[in-house]
Structure 1
Amino acid sequence: MPVSESLARNCYHPADKAHITLRPVLSDEQIALLEKICPAGLFRRDAAGKVNVHFQGCLECGSCRLVAGDTALAEWHHPPSGTGLTLRFG
């Protein structure tokens, strides 16, 4: 089963407020790293080249925090109780 199909089986209960925020200025290297490391593909550039974080589909794995840390992320924490990801197996 492709990863995209497996991820589609999960249930997402997004919070109203983002639990991941980026620093105002990021280098191209930092952006490329975030785009590459996130298994859910949450970090994407728009047509103007600005990076958007689509936090609603976050797997809460912390990969972005571990790899980019404080140099790229202004904030990262788990979403509030009752929101976030519910994994579904099978």
Structure 2
Amino acid sequence: MSVNESLMQNSYHPARSSHIELQDNVDAQQAALLEKICPAGLFQRDADGRLVFHHQGCLECGCCRLIVGDAALSAWRYPPSGSGIVLRFG
């Protein structure tokens, strides 16, 4: 089973608002790291070149927090109860 097939087994219940918030002035190096390390590919550039985070589909793995921490993230918390990812195996 491929990684994408495995991820499709999961169930997502996105919260109304994002549980991860970006700093206002994320520098280009930090933005490139976030785009590269997110296993779900949720950090992307918008049409104006600004970094945005799409919280729907977040794996809640914490890679972004471990790699860039407070340098690029103003908040990282788990989604509220009943929201987020439900992992399904096999």
Q: TM-score per shorter chain, which class? A: over 0.9
SS in 1 for 2:70: helix
> 2:74 maps to which residue?
74
- Report deviation, 1:7: 1.0
Q: Structure 2 CA distance, aligned partners of 1:3 and 1:47?
A: 28
Structure 2 letter corresponding to 1:49: G
Q: Provide structure 2 residue ranges, at least 5 long, that are not aligned to the other structure.
A: none
Q: Structure 2 CA distance, aligned partners of 1:59 and 1:6?
A: 12
Q: Whose helix fraction is larger, Structure 1's or Structure 2's? A: 1
Structure 1 letter corresponding to 2:24: P
> 1:49 maps to which residue?
49
**What's the TM-score once normalised by structure 1's chain length?**
0.94
Q: Provide structure 1 residue ranges, at least 5 long, that are not aligned to the other structure.
A: none
Structure 2 letter corresponding to 1:15: A
> 1:27 maps to which residue?
27
> 1:17 maps to which residue?
17
Structure 1 letter corresponding to 2:6: S
Q: How many residues align?
A: 90
Structure 2 letter corresponding to 1:77: R
Q: Structure 2 CA distance, aligned partners of 1:74 and 1:28?
A: 16
Instruction: Give the root-mean-square deviation of aligned CA atoms.
Output: 0.9
Identity %: 61
**What's the TM-score once normalised by structure 2's chain length?**
0.94
